[in-house]
Amino acid sequence: MKELIEAYKTVRPNVTVNPVITSSGDINQKLTVALATGTGPDIMDQDASFYELYYAKGVLEPLNLDVFGAKSYDEIIARYTPGGIAAGTFGGKVYALPYQGNSMSLFINNKAFAAAGLDPVKDAPRTWDDMKALGPKLKIVQGTRTVQKAFDFPYHSPRWEVQMFQPLVEQFGGKLLSDDGKTVYLNSPEAVKALTLWRDVTKATGDPKTTLNTPSNPNQDFIDGRTAMWVTGPWATSQIRQSAIKDGFTVVSFPQVNPAQPHTIVYGWMWGVNKAKPAAQKVVAWDFIRFVLSKPDEWLSKVAFVQPVKGVNETAVAKNFPFFDAHMKDVATASWYIRSEYTNEISQAIGRAVERTVYDGVDPKASLDQAQAEIDKILKY
Amino acid sequence: MYPEARAVKLAWTLPTVRPGRSIARRGRWNLARRQAAFGVAIILPTLAVLAVFRFLPMLQALYLSVTAYDLVHPPRFVGWANFVSLLHDPLFLKSARVSVTYVVCSVVPVLPLSLGLAVLFNQSVFVKNVLRSAIFMPVVMPAVVMAVVWTFMYQQDGVVNTLLGFLGIDPIPWLRSSATALWAVILIGIWRATPYYMVIFLAGLQAIPADYYDAAKIDGAGRWGTFRYITLPLLKPTMLLVIVMNVIVAMKVFAVPMIMTGGGPADSTRVLPLFIYQTAFEFFDMGRAAAMSVFLFVAVMVFSFVQVRLFTRGEESR
């Protein structure tokens, strides 16, 4: 980012750019409070699922078409992969643009597979049943201690729990939110099947009580060799290559209930402009966003972020990026992470339901009924 | 307070009367008035700071508690709606229960532990000062650092489970089970609070005149009798201070559960301050969060009042 800022300064020497660095865990609180108190930044960098909330609160400035040399918002939308900027489009207008739209794919530790006499490509699980079958071969328990998990779902943050739960629900033919984002379906038959699957796969492959993953190090268990398989985004590639695993990993598509009808998830981070700023500053803000987003291959080569723009897979960088096709295959069948004014509340209710079932053995239906009741109360209120 | 101490304090607070001032002026500004003015002048800066940074935010919270406010749009008056809805909110009630469990289970053991340590370190103990300093270390350690360190200690292969392993006990998923997570957090609360209150008890013990113990010894009182009939009654004000302070601190616990568990698993460690924070800064429902703060404030006030009444009841009747 620093390089891009410096490059922008050479193009617009009169513009000053002051980046404010905040951890991803704190950005939501800090940004919202700053926007409310009138001290918000010109440009906001936020998880895509929050833009629904910001739009509802009226703090977003629509994209400046002149700056992007476009005649209509449809022209902007057409520059992206289908649904690529859906999270930043409201009422036909574009309010935010993504600098990363990440698939969630299955990363496999080749060494762990080899030790179990498995081939990471040929024996990779295509379905959740395959995953359960691999459990006994890859899970290593010494006495009462789990030394290596075959696979584990995430438990370090509700948002990650939703990243896994949402595609499971969709794989069973359900959805978590109505199309208008106003109705939540947490205890639908499909959601119950999804949580039941989660619990059963966990029993066969994982041990959620032993995780060292944290919101700042979500891939820790995989990097440490504590789990043989882990679902994460392409951005984890550089982190994994710098670990002891180095290039000893394989990426395959997100496991499915029915591979003939695949459903995966994509989530990302976007940039939007603060409506409360003076008109001239807002023009410059969009100009800066246009400039830094104009080099998707640099984003991919330097930080492994995939911009959902058309043609990104044709670049030389993409062709050399490890398992880029596998990531793109998952993007092609992905829905965006749920977007609602109440994303946080819904995520937390789902997280609690998952933890009740996995940690406390509560029946999936009962756990999701409770989650639905919790969220209904919030929406009603 | 001892008469000597009162005299010293009085002498310090009295402004010096300079010679040459008129009797009339001195009459207008008699001693009591001048003392009062001097006292007010001294506390004014502190009062100003308290007013701006304590009382005004408290009033603001009180106001917000009767509004719907999402930080972006102006607050909208909703009357008692926030309070009524909280009383029917299972998440709030669960969080309140977690807070009460935390307070009771972390405050009760601290009292005998800190008093016991204070009594021990009030004696002639080998390398007393070194031990006192070592035991006091958790108090000076930042809560964030402590939470991170304990998170590692509670892991499957962490220090705690390794020690339990020597005793033949299987690893316990301390922070990954709703049956144990709150107890793990409570243990840290006890570990951190005990040395702090030990120092307060120590100060209380050292303020008890040695004459009383000498007299008891002459009368043939044993160790337990001396402790029961001299030390404990004279420590009553200190004990009141320790309990009230400890309860207030425990009710406001935030950093440790926030960092170690984020309130999970399944809300088992979501104490009220953490829920207030999430409601305000994750769900952006400032009105509801303020209403929860008012509940917390009232709970602390009621408890403190009851404690003071209980401890002073005997003294009033005398």
Q: Are B64 and B290 in contact (CB under 8 A)?
A: yes
Residue B67 in domain: no
Mean pLDDT of chain A: 90
The residue segments making up the domain with residue B249 are 84-317
Closest Cβ–Cβ partner in B70, B155, B262 for A212: B155
pLDDT category of residue B104 using cuts at 50, 70 and 90: very high
Q: What is the mean pLDDT of residues A217-224?
A: 90
- What is the distance between the alpha carbons of residues A51 and A122, in angstroms, rounded to a whole number? 41
How high is the pLDDT of residue B12?
43
Whether the pLDDT of residue A160 is over 80: the answer is: yes
> Residue B152: which CATH number?
1.10.3720.10
Residue B300 in domain: yes
Contacts of A355 in chain B (CB under 8 A): 178, 264-266
Looking at the complex, report in whole angstroms how far the Cα of residue A279 sits from the nearest Cα belonging to chain B: 20
pLDDT category of residue A157 using cuts at 50, 70 and 90: confident
Which own/partner pairs from B294-297 qualify as long-range (CB within 8 Å, at least 24 positions apart)? B294/B61, B294/B62, B294/B65, B294/B83, B295/B83, B295/B86, B295/B96, B296/B99, B296/B251, B296/B252, B296/B272, B297/B58
Contacts of B88 in chain A (CB under 8 A): 377
Domains: count for chain B: 1
Counted across chains A and B, CB pairs separated by less than 8 A come out at: 75
Counting residues of chain A whose pLDDT is more than 70, the rounded percentage is: 99
CA closest to A381 among chain B residues: B85
pLDDT digits (tens, 9 = 90+) for A339-374: 888 888 899 999 999 999 998 899 999 999 999 998
Do A359 and B72 lie within an 8 Å CB cutoff? no
The three-class DSSP label of residue A141 is strand
Q: What is the mean pLDDT of residues B264-289?
A: 90
In angstroms, what CA-CA distances link A147 with A144, A194, A206, A211?
9, 27, 11, 11
Q: Which helix (H) or strand (E) holds A159?
A: helix A158-171
How high is the pLDDT of residue B189?
94
Report all structural domains of chain A as residue ranges with CATH numbers, in order of start. 2-102+266-336 (3.40.190.10), 105-264+339-380 (3.40.190.10)
B77 at interface of A, judged by CB pairs closer than 8 A: no
Do A57 and B70 lie within an 8 Å CB cutoff? yes
How high is the pLDDT of residue A64?
95
- Residue A94 is classified by DSSP as E
Do B266 and A355 lie within an 8 Å CB cutoff? yes
Whether the pLDDT of residue B280 is over 60: the answer is: yes
B158 at interface of A, judged by CB pairs closer than 8 A: no
How high is the pLDDT of residue B20?
52
Q: Are B60 and B212 in contact (CB under 8 A)?
A: no
pLDDT digits (tens, 9 = 90+) for A19-36: 988 877 778 778 888 887
Least confident stretch, A101-105, A113-117, A193-197, B2-6: B2-6
Mean pLDDT of chain B: 85
Do A32 and B89 lie within an 8 Å CB cutoff? no
- Residue B229 is classified by DSSP as I
Do A57 and B73 lie within an 8 Å CB cutoff? yes
Looking at the complex, report in whole angstroms how far the Cα of residue A284 sits from the nearest Cα belonging to chain B: 24
Q: Are B80 and B302 in contact (CB under 8 A)?
A: no
CA closest to B91 among chain A residues: A374
- What is the distance between the alpha carbons of residues A109 and A223, in angstroms, rounded to a whole number? 9
Q: What is the mean pLDDT of residues B275-299?
A: 91
- What is the distance between the alpha carbons of residues B310 and B317, in angstroms, rounded to a whole number? 12
How high is the pLDDT of residue B23?
53
Q: What is the mean pLDDT of residues A94-115?
A: 94
Cis peptide before A278 (omega within 30 of 0): no
Do A355 and B178 lie within an 8 Å CB cutoff? yes
pLDDT digits (tens, 9 = 90+) for B111-169: 999 999 999 888 877 777 788 888 888 888 888 899 989 998 998 778 998 899 888 88
Looking at the complex, report in whole angstroms how far the Cα of residue B178 sits from the nearest Cα belonging to chain A: 7
What ipTM is given for this predicted complex? 0.73
Closest Cβ–Cβ partner in B90, B156, B262 for A145: B156
Provide residues of A within 8 Å CB-CB of chain B.
28-29, 32-33, 35-36, 53, 57-59, 144-146, 155, 157, 208-212, 342, 344-345, 348, 351-352, 355-356, 359-360, 373-374, 377-378, 381
CA closest to B280 among chain A residues: A29
Contacts of B91 in chain A (CB under 8 A): 374
Q: Which helix (H) or strand (E) holds A148?
A: strand A145-151
B144 at interface of A, judged by CB pairs closer than 8 A: no
Q: Are A24 and A39 in contact (CB under 8 A)?
A: no
Looking at the complex, report in whole angstroms how far the Cα of residue B136 sits from the nearest Cα belonging to chain A: 30
Least confident stretch, A49-53, A376-380, B16-20, B82-86: B16-20
CA closest to A276 among chain B residues: B72
Looking at the complex, report in whole angstroms how far the Cα of residue A57 sits from the nearest Cα belonging to chain B: 6
End-to-end CA distance of chain B: 17
Q: Are A270 and A65 in contact (CB under 8 A)?
A: no
Closest Cβ–Cβ partner in B170, B178, B282 for A29: B282
Whether the pLDDT of residue A381 is over 60: the answer is: no
Residue B94 in domain: yes
How high is the pLDDT of residue B13?
44
Q: Which of A355, A374, A376 would you mutate first to test chain B, the one with the most B CBs within 10 A? A: A355
Whether the pLDDT of residue B314 is over 70: the answer is: no
Closest Cβ–Cβ partner in B156, B265, B282 for A210: B156
Instruction: Give residue B234's identity as a one-letter amino acid code.
Output: L
Whether the pLDDT of residue B242 is over 70: the answer is: yes
pLDDT digits (tens, 9 = 90+) for A166-181: 999 999 999 999 888 7
- What is the distance between the alpha carbons of residues B2 and B234, in angstroms, rounded to a whole number? 14
Counting residues of chain A whose pLDDT is more than 90, the rounded percentage is: 56
Looking at the complex, report in whole angstroms how far the Cα of residue A226 sits from the nearest Cα belonging to chain B: 12
- What is the distance between the alpha carbons of residues B60 and B44, in angstroms, rounded to a whole number? 22
Instruction: Give residue A222's identity as a one-letter amino acid code.
Output: F
How high is the pLDDT of residue B28?
62
Closest Cβ–Cβ partner in A212, A356, A373 for B266: A356
Contacts of B150 in chain A (CB under 8 A): none
pLDDT category of residue B21 using cuts at 50, 70 and 90: low
Contacts of A145 in chain B (CB under 8 A): 156-157, 171
Q: What is the mean pLDDT of residues B45-73?
A: 91
